[in-house]
Structure 1
C-alpha cells in the first residue's frame, strides 16, 4: 500500500491488485482505496491504471505543491519477466484524472552503468523532490555484469521536470553488493531534516555481511525474511552503512516469519506517522502497518 493524506485529512492508498487466477507480470493493475484512518475500514474507489497490453505494479505516491505524483513498475505483458521498466503519472487530485508522462517508460531497461555493464531491468521506483528543486527517482536496477546472477542494486535517475525526461546518473549503481552475491530492493527514499534517507528490503543478509557475520550461501533464504535497512546520505548519492529500518512480522507480532517488503511511509504535517509494509504471511490481508514514534534521526 502506498498511502497519502489529502488536504482534508482523508487517507488514500494506491496498491497493486492481481486476479486470483492471474500473474502479476501480466495481469497486475493499480487500484485506489480511501479510509478515515490507517485502521480502516477501506473503501474501494476505482481502478487507477489497467491495460490489456501492460502490467502496472508497485506504485508509490508523493505530492509536490499542488501536484500528486504516482510512479510505478511498467511492463509489457509479452516481454520476459526480467525486462521491467518504470512509468510516472501526475494529477491535481488523488481522485484523478491521471495523466501519464509522454516519456513513459521514463526509465527503460537499457543503458549502461559505470562499469560498462548493460542495464537490463528497472523497477520498484520511489520519487522525491531534492533540496535543489530537481526531481529524483531511485529504483531497483539489475545489470548483466555478473551474467545471469541477477543481483538487485539501487540506481538513480534525475530530471528538471516531474514528467521527465529522466536521465540516469552516470555513476549508477549507487548501492550494490552484487560483487558479493548479495542484494537489496524495494527502496523508499525521502528527504527529511536536511538529509536523504532510504529504506530497503534486505533480501540476502546484507546487514549480516556488513557486521562481519555473513550468512553461508547455502543458508540464505531469499526475500525479506529479516529486518529491513535504512540508509542516510547528505547528498542522496553517497550512502553510509545502514541501520535496521524495520522489523519482521515475527518480531512485531509473534507471527510465523514471512517475507516483509515494499516499505512506504505515511506522512502527516511533514512528519513520518506510519510505516506500511507488504507481507507474505498466512493472513490474507497480505500486509501491516506500524506507528512511527519518537524517531529522531542523528
Structure 2
C-alpha cells in the first residue's frame, strides 16, 4: 500500500514538474521603466497622436508626430508636425509642419539616423482610396530641420503584390526602419492578410533594400510574425538592433499574450488596451516567444485605462534612454514617456 502511494506521488510530482510553463513573463526591458509624464498637448480643435523622438548632434530633442483636425479624420487629414525641447519633460516648441498634402495623408512617422543622414518613414495614403489601401513612404535629410527629400520610389511599399504565404498585400503601414548587421536597410511594417477567410488580420512583414531611399523588396517569406491563423492581431512594431540582437516591440492588439498562455479571451476589445510585447532575434527574421514589453497608462500612472500604442525609443550615445508611447484618451496629450533605467538584456 505504501509502495502504491509512493508511486502515485512520484507520478504526480513528475507530471507537475514536466508541465510546460506557458506564462509570458515581464521582460527586463519593461521592468526597467520609470514612470514619466504625459506630453505634447494639441492646440485647440486638433489632436496629436504618437511621438517619434530623436536627439540632434547637439543633444536637442526633436519629435515628429501626427496632427489631425478634430473635424477631420487621420485617414484623410493627418499631417506630420515637428516640435523641439531640451528634454522629454518639455516644454516643447512647435517648429514646422514637415509633411502635409491636399491629396495624401501623412501619418505615424518614425525617425532614425544613419551616419550623417536622418531618415523619416511614415504611413502614406491617397485621400481618395479605401482605408485598407495604406502604403509607406520614406524621406531623408541632412538636418532634422529639413529640407526633407522624399524618395523617388515612394510609395516604397505599395498596397499591391503578394506575400510569402500567397495572400495579397492589401496594406502596408506603421513602418519602422533600421540599418541591419550587414549594412543593408530594413523596413518592418504592419501588413494585413486575407489568407484566413473573410476576416482580415494585422501582422508584421519586412521589406529590404541596399539603399536608404530604395527601392525596397518584400521578404519572400513574409509575414515574419503573425497570429492570423488564430484570429488575432499585432501591429505598431518598433524594431531596433542592440548589443548584437534584433528586438521588436509591438502592440498586442487582441490578446496574443492570453492566447499563448492558454487562456484566450475572444471578447477582448481590439486596440492598445493591454500591455505590449517585445521579441528578440539573432537575425531579425525568426522571432521567438515574446515577453511583456511595456505596460498601459493605467499601470504606469494609475489613470483610467486608455489605448497605449506606437512605441518608440529615444536613444542617447547608442543607449536606450526613454520609451515614448501614444495614448488616446480624454487628455489632449500625444502620449507619454517612461525612462529606461538599468536595462540589461537577457
- TM interval, shorter chain, is over 0.9
Q: TM-score, normalised by structure 2?
A: 0.85
Highest RCO, 1 vs 2 (Cα 8 Å, sep ≥ 6)? 2
- Displacement of 1:144 in angstroms is 1.9
Q: Deviations over 1:216-262 (max 9, x none)?
A: x2x21110111000000000000010001000000001000111000
Q: TM-score, normalised by structure 1?
A: 0.98
List runs of 5+ in structure 1 lacking aligned partners: none
Q: Deviations over 1:85-107 (max 9, x none)?
A: 00000000000000000000000
SS across alignment from 2:263: coil
Structure 1 match to 2:132: 82
1:233 paired with 2:281, answer yes
1:18 paired with 2:18, answer no
Q: Deviations over 1:76-124 (max 9, x none)?
A: 0000000000000000000000000000000001111222111100000
Larger Rg: 2
- Show the 5 A alignment for 1:1-298: 1-215=51-265, 217=266, 219-298=267-346
Structure 1 match to 2:39: none
How well do the aligned residues superpose, as a CA RMSD in angstroms? 0.7
- Displacement of 1:147 in angstroms is 4.2
SS across alignment from 1:58: strand
Moved over 3 A (4+): none
CA distance in 2, matches of 1:41, 1:105: 34
> Does the CA contact (< 8 Å) of 2:165 and 2:223 recur in 1?
no
Q: Deviations over 1:173-221 (max 9, x none)?
A: 0000001000100000000000000000000110111111111x2x211
- Displacement of 1:282 in angstroms is 1.9
CA distance in 2, matches of 1:181, 1:61: 31
Farther-moved stretch of structure 1 (147-156 vs 227-236): 147-156
List runs of 5+ in structure 2 lacking aligned partners: 1-50
SS across alignment from 1:119: coil
- Displacement of 1:148 in angstroms is 3.8
Which one has the bigger helix percentage?
Answer: 2
